[in-house]
Amino acid sequence: MSNFGLVLPLRIEVAEESVSVVDAAGVRAFYVYTCAEPERRRNTNRLSPEDGVAVAKIAARALTDQMERG
């Protein structure tokens, strides 16, 4: 199995309009755009910051599980 070129542990970083999963070497493995303003969020099809963190946690857990198995 592949480790995706990532180094554990993975961490979640929250920026103004995005949430990322970053590895120990600083490589961004995953990101999703977010928006705190409901009207703009609807127009741009972005997630809320809270939902972005929830999705990033799921992605980080899935990547970590796969890397630990492989």
pLDDT tens digits for range 32-58: 999 999 999 999 999 999 999 999 999
pLDDT at 2 over 70: no
Q: At 11, is the secondary structure helix, strand, or coil?
A: strand
pLDDT for 3: 75
Count of the separate structural domains present in the chain: 1
| Domain-embedded: residue 4 | no
Domain extent for 47? 11-69
Does residue 64 belong to any structural domain of this protein?
Answer: yes
**CA 62 to CA 1: how far, in whole Å?**
14
Q: Give residue-wise pLDDT tens across range 11-37.
A: 999 999 999 999 999 999 999 999 999
Does 27 map to a domain?
Answer: yes
Report yes or no: 3 and 60 within 8 Å, Cβ to Cβ. no
CA distance 36 to 67: 32
> Is residue 5, in this structure, part of any structural domain at all?
no
- What is the pTM assigned to this prediction? 0.90
> Does the residue 23 lie in any domain?
yes
**Does 1 have pLDDT greater than 50?**
no
